Amino acid sequence: MKRIAAPILALSFVIAGAGLAEARDMQPPADAMPLSQIVAKIEQRPDFRYIDDLEWDDDGYYEIEYRTKEGGEVRLKLDPKTGEARR
């Protein structure tokens, strides 16, 4: 029984470690600008009407989609540290 338990225990640590690494990728960095400030910058755009979607991308940026006063759609990828659009 002990021969089986040790490999299973070791495997569970490997799986748990991978899960923790993935969870770290799913959140903004510690030095990121507060999301409320990023949203406030978007709301100041002259064509802004409302935010349609906002999410954290595991590639390291915010994806935001907003609607314009004319009914158009704008999609941006925003740097979490500066709030500026990425190209």
- The residue whose two tokens read 């999301």 is 35
Closest of 44, 87, 81 to residue 66, by C-alpha: 44
CA distances from 84 to 17, 19, 32 (A): 33, 30, 12
- The residue whose two tokens read 């910058």 is 41
Residue 83 lies in a domain: no
Total Cβ atoms within 10 A of residue 68:
14
Any idea what the CATH number is for the domain that residue 60 is in? 2.40.50
Q: State the pLDDT confidence band at 20, using cuts at 50, 70 and 90.
A: very low
Phi, psi dihedrals of residue 70, rounded to the nearest 5°: -85, 0
Q: Which of 11-15, 40-44, 72-76, 79-83 has the weakest average pLDDT?
A: 11-15
Residue 63 lies in a domain: yes
Average pLDDT over residues 37-51: 97
Q: What is the value of pTM for the model shown?
A: 0.67
Tell me the per-residue pLDDT of 51-71, one tens digit each, with 9 for 90 and over.
999 999 999 999 999 999 999
Structural domain containing residue 39: 2-78
Percent above pLDDT 70 for the chain: 74
Q: Is the pLDDT of residue 78 over 90?
A: yes
User: Which pLDDT value is given to residue 54?
Assistant: 97
User: Which pLDDT value is given to residue 3?
Assistant: 72
Closest of 25, 26, 29, 53 to residue 39, by C-alpha: 53
Specify the number of domains making up the chain: 1
